[in-house]
């Protein structure tokens, strides 16, 4: 049996997926300042979960913004490409993907698992997970609860600031005037959704539309985004691993392409060893 691994080092989370004919294991851990050390650790855990050793892996593809910091990967592929690939295997009907990550957000148009076009914001924290993280923090609410809380809002309290820094100040002063937290969170989701939608609408948006990344785990944000596009949006069962899954599947494709010609791809990454910036 051939096993393929995908490692997605995002700005906030590191994800590893191991596939054969199916998903053998998937693991999510926080991204530390030392990417390489962490990639190594998450990979070890994912192997343990699949009861495999490093030598059982046929090919490893790294993706995400920290992809160059995976010394044991055989190839690096951009997260946009991997996202498209991963999504095609999870939700084949999807033509437009909205990915809300920890420090960026993207819109990707896909056709048959390939990227047709994309837009991206990694310049400004507004419209990214970081925005939600900061607001949740200043409201004293855990990030993973804000989705549910926003569903209890009686109305959306409009938030006029775009900038995360200004929005935080705005939220605090609105709290002081007695605005319920749920309404404020609904307002924040609406603000993030507006910002992301205006970016994604630069693409020729076609249904089905899916949401991935950490933002897709926030039901309030997914609903707010749905209202901007006038339809219900799809969410994969585990929205965080789309990129890592795509990376593993890209590795499988590469391997099979070589195999069809009776060859084997050259493996670059040799050992699963710890590396640090300070070496």
- Would you say 117 or 162 has its CB closer to other proteins? 162
Task: Give the shortest CB-105-to-other proteins separation in angstroms.
Answer: 13
- Would you say 65 or 72 has its CB closer to other proteins? 65
Summarize as ranges the residues that interact with other proteins (CB under 8 A).
11, 33, 103, 122-125, 130-131, 134, 162-166, 277
- Would you say 116 or 275 has its CB closer to other proteins? 275
Cβ(37)–Cβ(3) under 8 Å? Answer: no
Task: Give the shortest CB-30-to-other proteins separation in angstroms.
Answer: 13
CA dihedral sign, ordered 193, 198, 199, 200: positive
- Would you say 124 or 141 has its CB closer to other proteins? 124
Structure tokens at 84: 């498209």
Task: Give the shortest CB-157-to-other proteins separation in angstroms.
Answer: 20
Task: Give the shortest CB-203-to-other proteins separation in angstroms.
Answer: 23
Query: Rounded to 5 degrees, what angle do the CA atoms 212, 216, 220 make?
Result: 155
- Would you say 122 or 148 has its CB closer to other proteins? 122
Q: DSSP for 158-194?
A: -----SHHHHHHHHHHHHHTT--HHHHHHHHHHHHHH
- Would you say 21 or 278 has its CB closer to other proteins? 278
Cα-atom radius of gyration of the chain, to the nearest Å? Answer: 20
Task: Give the shortest CB-150-to-other proteins separation in angstroms.
Answer: 21
Q: How far is CA 42 from CA 26, 36, 55, in A?
A: 10, 10, 16
Main-chain phi, psi angles of 83, to 5 degrees: -60, -45
Task: Give the shortest CB-256-to-other proteins separation in angstroms.
Answer: 37
Complete edge-to-edge strand list for the sheet that includes strand 3-9? 23-30, 13-19, 3-9, 57-63, 75-76
């Amino acid at each position: 049996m051939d096993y393929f691994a995908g490692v997605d080092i995002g700005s906030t989370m590191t994800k590893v997926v191991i596939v054969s004919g199916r998903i053998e294991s998937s693991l999510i851990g926080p991204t530390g300042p030392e990417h390489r050390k962490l990639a190594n650790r998450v990979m070890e855990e994912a192997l343990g979960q699949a009861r495999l050793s490093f030598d059982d892996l046929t090919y490893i593809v790294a993706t995400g913004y920290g992809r160059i910091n995976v010394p044991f990967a055989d190839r690096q592929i951009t997260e946009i490409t991997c996202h498209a690939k991963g999504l095609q295997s999870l939700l084949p009907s999807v033509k437009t993907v909205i990915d809300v990550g920890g420090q960026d957000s993207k819109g990707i148009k896909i056709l048959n698992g390939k990227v047709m076009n994309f837009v991206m914001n990694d310049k400004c924290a507004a419209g990214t997970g970081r925005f939600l993280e900061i607001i949740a923090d200043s409201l004293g609410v855990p990030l993973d609860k804000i989705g549910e809380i926003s569903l209890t809002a009686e109305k959306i309290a409009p938030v006029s600031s775009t900038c995360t820094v200004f929005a935080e100040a705005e939220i605090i002063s609105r709290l002081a005037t007695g605005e319920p937290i749920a309404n404020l969170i609904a307002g924040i989701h609406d603000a993030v959704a507006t910002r992301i939608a205006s970016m994604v609408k630069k693409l020729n948006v076609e249904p089905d539309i899916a949401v991935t990344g950490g933002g897709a785990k926030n039901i309030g944000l997914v609903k707010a985004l749905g209202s901007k596009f006038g339809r219900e949006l799809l969410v994969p069962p585990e929205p965080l691993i789309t990129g890592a899954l795509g990376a593993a599947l890209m590795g499988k494709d590469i391997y099979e392409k070589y195999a069809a010609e009776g060859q084997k791809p050259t493996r670059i990454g040799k050992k699963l060893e710890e590396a640090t910036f300070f070496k």
